[in-house]
Structure 1
Amino acid sequence: MAESETVAEKVSQVLTDFVNETIGEKENITAKEPSTPEGQAVAYVSLVVMALVPIFYGSFRSVKYQDKQKESGEKPETITRSDAARFPIVASGLLFGIYVFFQVFSKEYINILIGIYFLVLGIFATVHVLRPAIVSCIPATFPNSSYHIQLTEGEDEGKEEWLNQKFDRRDLVAVAVCAAISVWYALQKHWIANNVLGLAFAINGVELLQLSSIGTGCILLSGLFFYDIFWVFGTNVMISVAKNFNAPIKVVFPQDFLIRGIFGKNFAMLGLGDIVIPGIFIALLLRFDISLNRNKHTYFYSGFIAYILGLIMTMVVMIVFQHPQPALLYLVPACLGVPLLTALVKGDLNTMLKYSDVPETEEKESEKKSD
């Protein structure tokens, strides 16, 4: 009973502090050791490059992924309009819940659980992305052999298949390499391992998370535009979670890299949400380009260039004001405005707004299921 009262008191104190920090003066938790202009330039250019790779690569992977779904007859899992409208509310609840959790319970034990979770998740994510590259590096003389694991329940007629997986020894090598990366991160929390896992998560996100239509993308990005502004400027919650949540949910690069090399500690960071959320919209633009059958990627490149400009603007403002910025404040207007304006000029705006990856009836069915 005493323990529950203690937890309740801690939660009450956290809520009180949150309200005081939101409407009063917030504690400056972002202070860092000063870095050189050269070091900042290297760090922020590296972040831009790391943001662009998963968006570009993941967008083209999303096209292949959708084609595979259509060939197999599998119904695509897409983010519907109702999902997009609810997402900022759900994300806000989750973010604040994590914040309260960190304030009440020991960060050490929480990060151990998080580490185990991301150890397993990291293996799956990196295998999905890195397997082709790893397999291509294995010499032809490698003693390969194929395996097939099948797990079923019941007799012949009522048999239910639980697992049906084919693989070979090259796949096992890929798993071993990816497991080594995840273990490296779990044990050392090194920023390079963090970035490998983070980029794998981002590529998977852009590839597998698919918006149903341009209108859905506008709803999602507009909602997260206000979400990001509130949680960065209105409170210290997002910054606090980003610093304390010891998991590869961001890409980082040391601003003191020119001085300390890979052992730098003064990190510039970019959250994976600022990569994946605009990325899934840009991937949708690529699929829209392909649907036009013009052999051009006009809208994909307009969105991609807009993202670059928006990200550069974010970093310039962050350097000038020396305060973390809600990246979506700059990315959303750029990624929505430039492609829509391009479509208006080229006379494709109506076609763009009507475009959908899935038939309208399927989207309505998905919305009913989600409700």
Structure 2
Amino acid sequence: MSLLCIILGGIRSARYVKRMISKKKLIEGSITVKEAKKFPITASCVLFGLYLFFKPDGKAWLMSLGGTYLPSQYSLMINKTLGTSESNATTSFGPGIFKKIGSYLPEHIVEFFPEMPELKKEYFMKFLLYMICFQGCVALANLLKPVFSRILRLLPIGDHWPRFNTPYFVSWKKGNKEMDSDDVEDAPKKDTEYLLKIDFDTHDLIALFFCLSVGISHVMQRHWITNNIIGIAFSIYGIEYLHLSSFKAGSFLLAGLFVYDVFWVFATDVMTSVAKGIDAPILLQFPQDIFINGWKDAKKHSMLGLGDIVIPGIFIALLRRFDLRVIDKAEHKNAKSRFYFHVTIISYALGLFITMGVMHYFKAAQPALLYLVPCCLVIPLTFSLIRGEFSALWNYNEEQFIEKTDEQKKEKVDSKKKNN
């Protein structure tokens, strides 16, 4: 399943970049070298924040994180302050956050709110599940839209109703300087900024309508098949639209997440606690006991996180574009064929086999990026050395086709001034 996601995502990514270039549009949200270096730190902050949310109903969460190296009086004091202690190991933070706030309010204010609402972990988990399932259905609808469009065009209504596939564009714009509200729409691009841009058509809405049945089914039954359908859609969609600006950016991203994955899995219980705490389709599953209990009642699953598919996947998609010489059509003439996409897919498969072998040998879960990153990074670089294309691969970039932020534009102007 993971190889299917990477192959389809890589092919679709090359088509997407070609389409943007042909329309002379800039690619939004590209990951540059600077962002790739910061990504592991940002991911660590998000992961640790989720850990603080999921972990506290265990035994002194600070102690399990590394508080054993602190003097006992400090660890107990901090845990007591946060609402978790040895004597209260089986309870969580207690009442909902609104009730805790209410306990500090004056009585003459509290009497107006006799029943303070509770904001519990269960409510947040349901919201997270609904949001992820909806976004997964949107990704699935995007992938299946050509199928629905083909079927709709074959229907008689398609011939008699020309506006059946009506396009829509919804946006939310803000001004970067003071101006009248009715001037924002016609203001110059440098004076405005889009907070939200959504473009869709009637076929998108119809595809989403039918795909929502997958999300509803997963919310109701939590079956591994619906989980995988949503997970595969997420992975392919992410690989297609998450754009790496250069090979160097991809290398820094993989290297940083290699350290990130190893640290949070081996040095702490943070990763495993968060993975077990989120009951949502954020990984692919396959039942190990399918031949014993059947595909409906299977309960023991092998799992692979979507990050272990999407992160190497966007790097392999970059190599697909390098093979096709997407950014330089002149190179197509008399250029020798490139096979880095195929080589790295085989390398990714090798990394997965190594992961599974080590997992079975040590009888313990393994951070997949520990084995996937060296395979996906070292093997293509070695292949480029053999072919004499190391410099071309290492310096490959698509930064001329990405939309620059104001900060990036300023850095470019400053560098030009220095050079002059």
Shorter-chain TM-score bucket reads: 0.7 to 0.9
Structure (1 or 2) with the larger CA radius of gyration: 2
SS in 2 for 1:130: helix
| Cα distance in 2 between the residues matched to 1:172 and 1:310 | 39
Query: Which one of 298, 319, 327 corresponds to residue 285 of structure 1?
Result: 319
Q: CA 1:173 to 1:158, structure 2 compared with 1: closer, same or farther past 3 Å? A: closer
1:150/1:165 contact within 8 Å kept? yes
Equivalent position SS for 1:270 = strand
Between the aligned partners of 2:209 and 2:6, the Cα distance in structure 1 is 26
Aligned mate of 1:97, from 49, 54, 57 = 49
The equivalent residue for 1:39 is: none
Cα offset, 1:90, TM superposition: 0.7
State whether structure 2 residue 388 is matched by structure 1 residue 347.
Answer: yes
1:115 to 129, 135, 140: 129
Give the drift of 1:360.
Answer: 9.5
Q: Secondary structure at the match of 1:251?
A: strand
Q: What is the TM-score of this pair, normalised by structure 2?
A: 0.70
Equivalent residue number for residue 141 of structure 2: 127
Q: Percent identity?
A: 41
Distance 1:295 1:132, change over 3 A: farther
Q: Which amino acid aligns with 2:22?
A: E
Question: Residue 116 of structure 2 corresponds to which residue in structure 1?
Answer: none
C-alpha separation between the residues in 2 aligned to 1:180 and 1:56? 26
**Residue in 2 aligned with 1:70?**
21
The number of aligned residues is: 320
How far off its partner does 1:204 sit?
A: 1.0
Evaluate the alpha carbon distance shift between residue 132 and residue 254 of structure 1 in structure 2; reply closer, same or farther with a 3 A threshold: same
Q: Is the 8 A contact 1:80 1:367 kept in 2?
A: no
Shift, 1:166, TM fit = 6.1
Q: Which amino acid aligns with 1:287?
A: R
Shift of 1:199: 0.7
2:191 paired residue number: none
Deviates further, 153-162 or 199-208:
153-162
Which stretch shows the higher mean deviation, 155-164 or 278-287? 155-164
Structure 2 alignment gaps of length 5 or more: 57-92, 94-119, 173-180, 188-193, 326-330, 412-420
Alignment of 1:182-201 (within 5 A): 182-201=215-234
Alpha-carbon contact 2:133-2:281 (below 8 Å) kept: no
Give distance in 2, aligned partners of 1:218 and 1:120: 32
Contact between 2:142 and 2:204, CA under 8 Å: does it hold in 1? Answer: no
Question: How far 1:189 sits from its partner (Å)?
Answer: 1.5
- Relative distance call for 1:318 and 1:361 in structure 2 (3 A) is closer
In structure 2, the CA distance between the partners of 1:369 and 1:269, relative to structure 1 (3 Å rule), is farther
How do residues 162-173 of structure 1 correspond to structure 2 at under 5 angstroms?
167-168=201-202, 170-173=203-206
| CA RMSD, 1 decimal | 2.9
Match status 1:215 vs 2:166: no
- Report how far residue 248 of structure 1 moved: 1.1
Q: Please say which of residues 181-190 and 321-330 is displaced more in the overlay.
A: 181-190
CA distance in 1, matches of 2:404, 2:381: 23
Residues 125, 200 of structure 1: 8 Å contact kept = yes
| Cα pair 1:82 1:367 within 8 Å, conserved | no
Give the secondary structure class of the aligned counterpart of 2:284.
Answer: strand
Q: Deviations over 1:20-62 (max 9, x none)?
A: xxxxxxxxxxxxxxxxxxxxxxxxxxxxxx1101100000111
Q: CA deviation at 1:159?
A: 6.0
Deviation of 1:122 (Å): 1.9
Cα contact 1:250–1:270 (8 A) shared by 2: yes
**1:56: which partner in 2?**
7
Any unmatched runs of 5+ in structure 1? 1-49
SS at the partner of 1:359?
helix
